[in-house]
Amino acid sequence: MIKLFLVEDEAVMREGIKRRIDWSAEGIEFAGDARDGELALPMILEKKPDIVITDIKMPFMDGLKLSEHIREALPDTKIIILSGYDDFSYAKEGIRLGVTEYLLKPITPAALLKSIHEVMEKIEQERKEKEERSLRSAEEYEKKEKEAVRLFSELAKQFLDRPGSGPESHDRDTSFVNMDISKAGEVSGKELESFLRTGTQDGARAMIDSVFDSIGDQNSRSLIFLNYLTMDLYFTMVRFLKEIGENVSEINSKCGDINDIIRDMTGTEDAKRYLSEYLSAVISARDNGSARKYGRILRDAAVYIDEHYADEDISLNTLAELANISPNHFSAIFSQEMGVTFIEYLINKRMDKAKELLMTTDMKSFEIAYAVGYKDPHYFSSTFKKTQGMTTKEFRARGREG
């Protein structure tokens, strides 16, 4: 759903636009409104609307100045300017700032909606083009990865098949490579993919050590094998960075170019050092990105739960809908960032309140059950005993004895 924000200093005009259009029926979420640019800007930066409709002449900060700030912070946001001034200089400045539509007042709801729908079509088209570019980029990257795998496999075959490749000449015996190279990369890659989503920076070196332990000492002594495995794990981390929208070049410049690493690699320790450093940098980027992206969502979710824990119908779907993301996605980021699942957080909140009521009131157990959001007092009692290690009666008695 497209998100829209309105900035208009004339109260009658502002309320008219808000009330006379059925936004949800038009596929639009009305994200909020403000009477001037100064009030609107922090709200817009927080809500990140797809479309901003703003008057041009307002106190404190006018529509053009507001548009300039929006363009700098939210370049994808489309701006529709409403103006009572048929002055080319205003329109010219609006064009310079990248304003999408410049409409003259007075304007009817139908005319405004027509312009909004035209802007919505532009947004959908841009999203489609962006998705297609991402898909093409992913496909091209996949081709490059497969080509790298093919070259490494071919190099390994040539090296191991040529005469004189025994231990007496190269200290590399073909019997060292006891595992299929591509299969080893696949197994290690899956293990790494799981760690990339849930692992910590402190665990990066242990993760890489675990990968090398799993391939065996003999295999890890083959330089060809090390080169391939390092490249394969590198590509796994790069794919993850692209998936979460982080900057690959920034981490490459910090940790070193993979081609230089492969060229200069002399043994297992070089591979481990590079991969653990790269993995630690990826986890750091993931955590920083998640904190930026999801911090507000999770803070709002925690506040909502704190205020609505007693609602019988509160659910993960409720929170996901409020955050405007899918339930599965919300569940994943909640668990990752909060350290517990949504249901565990809700139960803990309800149990804390139940314990407070047991100690400060004479309410019966079934009354407390209803007060903290349980329809079934028996289920409440069972949950309390399971989580607290004693019944409500025992908890109250023990508390009052103390």
Lookup result for tokens 């070049």: 249
pLDDT at 31 over 80: yes
The string of pLDDT tens digits covering residues 286-297 is 878 766 667 778
Confidence of residue 7 (pLDDT cuts 50, 70, 90): very high
Q: Which of 78-87, 317-326, 364-373 has the lowest mean pLDDT?
A: 78-87
Place of tokens 């548009």: 67
Write down the residue that tokens 């507000």 correspond to: 296
Give the SS3 label for residue 34.
strand
- Reported confidence tier of residue 151, pLDDT bands at 50, 70, 90: low
What is the pLDDT averaged over residues 251-271?
88
In this prediction, residues 387-395 reach a mean pLDDT of: 94
User: What's the pLDDT score for residue 135?
Assistant: 61
Torsion, CA 155, CA 156, CA 160, CA 162, rounded to 10: -10
C-alpha 331, offset from chain centre? 12
Task: Kindly give the residue spans of alpha helices, DSSP state H, lying in 256-313.
Answer: 258-264, 268-308
Specify the pLDDT at position 259. Answer: 82
Report d(CA 87, CA 55) in Å as an integer. Answer: 14
Q: What percent of the chain has pLDDT over 70?
A: 80
DSSP summary character for residue 203: G
pLDDT greater than 80 at residue 346: yes
Separation in Å, CA 93 to CA 51, 62, 81, 147: 19, 12, 11, 50
Lowest mean pLDDT among 142-151, 214-223, 234-243, 308-317: 142-151
Q: How far is CA 125 from CA 128, 361, 376, in A?
A: 5, 60, 50
User: Which pLDDT band holds residue 104 (cuts at 50, 70, 90)?
Assistant: confident
Query: What average pLDDT does the segment 317-323 reach?
Result: 87
Confidence of residue 179 (pLDDT cuts 50, 70, 90): very low
pLDDT at 89: 63
At residue 166, the pLDDT reads 43
317 vs 95: which has the higher pLDDT: 317
Find the mean pLDDT for residues 178-183: 46
Tokens 């990066």 correspond to: 204
Task: Give the span between the Cα atoms of 257 and 254, in whole angstroms.
Answer: 9
pLDDT at 27 over 80: yes
Least confident of 125-134, 302-311, 340-349: 125-134
DSSP string, 305-334: HHHHTT-TT--HHHHHHHHTS-HHHHHHHH
> Does residue 5 contact residue 47 with C-beta atoms inside 8 Å?
yes
Mean pLDDT for the chain overall? 81
CATH class belonging to 309-401: mainly alpha
Task: Give me the pLDDT at residue 191, please.
Answer: 80
Domain boundaries, the chain: 2-127, 162-288, 309-401
* Least trusted range by pLDDT, from 33-47, 112-126, 220-234: 220-234
Task: Beginning with the edge strand found earlier in the chain, give each strand of the sheet holding 101-104 in spatial order.
Answer: 28-34, 2-7, 51-55, 78-83, 101-104
- pTM higher than 0.85, yes or no? no
Which of 196-210, 287-301, 331-345 is predicted most confidently?
196-210
> What CATH number is given for 2-127 in this structure?
3.40.50.2300
